[in-house]
Amino acid sequence: MSFTEQLLERFLSYTAFDTQSKIGAKSSPSTQGQVKLAKHLMQELQQLELEEITLTKHGILTAFLPANIAHAPTIGLISHLDTSPQCSGKNVQAEVIKNYRGGDIALGIGDEFISPVYYPFLHQLTGKTLIVTDGTTLLGADNKAGIAEILTALSEIKKRNLPHCNIRIAFTPDEEIGLGMHYFPWDAFPCDWAYTIDGGEVGELEYENFNAATAKVTIHGRNIHLGSAKDKLINALTLACDFQQLLPVDEVPEKTEGKAGFFHLQRLTGDIEKAELHYLIRDFDIDKFELRKAFIRQAVDKFNREKGLRQKAEVTPTDTYKNMYDVVKTVPQSIDLADKAMKACNIEPVHKPIRGGTDGAWFAEKGLACPNIFTGGYNFHSKHELISLEGMVDAVNVIIKMMELAVK
């Protein structure tokens, strides 16, 4: 069997596991399907004769392949086991379309379709082998394609006896709900730097993400019978609408792109007595990020002054993750190596800021540089998710090349 066939077979076998993570679950990992996949992968790692294979009670699978050349660095490769809670990952029926002719693709019985009219990137995929869903679930290329690519790369490195650095592998649960890193076994993962294999289109190389915080603004009102409400009733909901007007109208996700930051009102709850506005605060630049947090505090102060309320509004900003670039830039070889490997594979690297977070941001918190590399997939977290087999092969080749160039 060629490595391309093996790669496809591996990936399809992983999509059969329902590993959807669940927000608000009390256990870690949040769902048992992730553990089932981890146990299956553990067997594959054993067949590949990796060392130090460990599955923690929180569903984190790690393993080690020692270098076959002296004085080699240690590089980590990471993918996540779970799929998005936003779209079902149960009973995934992947379909393989060989030699895509262009035009619309009917999914399953045809209730859903994907079209180059909505997804112009399909034009670039003509002639390729595409893996799509039957239109009822997501595919799970995010991030099972990454897992299949890492394992296929390891298998090829061993089979062809290629020179390689020390390689550490980690497959983590609950990335999609931001909880996978809480129980990460740091001591079992000593690396010089690492990569998440969790990006999209071929060539993507990401090493900058938002600095992120949440802020909850609480506003208090006073309820009273509406018949005698004049000058007495204070409506927390109306006040909440007034507060929202204090924020810059153009600095929202729907009006920004690239490296521009924003305030995003993601939830507004409450009644007459009490209202809560839940914001996401995002910025790539750490100084601007701090200014944004200060801005929302000042907005609350201004609001309290202007409204003259007896019970003052409160705000609590809480940091969630940091831009990984501050750490990545101290390990520039992590970017150089990925660039060189892609070019050696005839792939033009596309450096892109991530308008979100990744597990790499959590690794950066611990001082480990961890850029993100493409898997070859598109439309993640959706019934329209798809991936090209050629893109997956590119990812495997880039991983192999990186491990090889790291010892040169």
Nearer to Zn ion, 44 or 82 (CB): 82
User: x/- contact string, 96-135, with Zn ion (CB under 5 A)?
Assistant: ----------------------------------------
372 binds Zn ion (CB under 5 A): no
Q: Which of residues 274-333 bind Zn ion (CB under 5 A)?
A: none
d(CA 358, CA 146): 14
Catalytic residue flag (residue 82) = yes
174 binds Zn ion (CB under 5 A): no
Q: Which residue in the list 142, 149, 175, 206 is annotated as catalytic?
A: 175
Q: Per-residue DSSP letters for 321-380?
A: E--THHHHTT-THHHHHHHHHHHHTT---EEEEESS--HHHHHHHTT----EEE-SEEST
Q: What residues pair up with 244 in beta bridges, in sequence order?
A: none
Kindly state the number of chain residues that form the binding site for Zn ion, as judged by CB under 5 A. Answer: 3
Amino acid at the residue 118: Y
Among 19, 137, 143, 397, interactor with Zn ion by CB under 5 A: 143
Q: What are the start-end ranges of the H helices in 206-324?
A: 236-244, 286-307
CB atoms within 10 A of CB 125: 20
d(CA 390, CA 350): 18
Nearer to Zn ion, 44 or 142 (CB): 142
- Does an H or E element contain 223, and which? none
Among 142, 204, 206, 283, interactor with Zn ion by CB under 5 A: 142
Nearer to Zn ion, 142 or 204 (CB): 142
385 binds Zn ion (CB under 5 A): no
Q: Which residue in the list 18, 44, 82, 206 is annotated as catalytic?
A: 82
Catalytic residue flag (residue 175) = yes
Pairing of strands 262-270, 274-283: antiparallel
Among 198, 283, 359, 385, interactor with Zn ion by CB under 5 A: 198
Selected range binding Zn ion among 62-70, 98-106, 138-146, 322-330, rule: CB under 5 A: 138-146
82 binds Zn ion (CB under 5 A): no
Amino acid at the residue 6: Q
CB of 377 to Zn ion, least distance (A): 9
Check: CB of residue 80 under 8 Å from CB of residue 173. Answer: yes
Taking phi over 0 as left and psi of -120 to 50 as alpha, with beta for the rest, 127 belongs to left
CB of 128 to Zn ion, least distance (A): 22
Nearer to Zn ion, 217 or 354 (CB): 354
Q: Just list the catalytic residues.
A: 82, 175
Residues that bind Zn ion in the complex, under the rule CB under 5 A: 142-143, 198
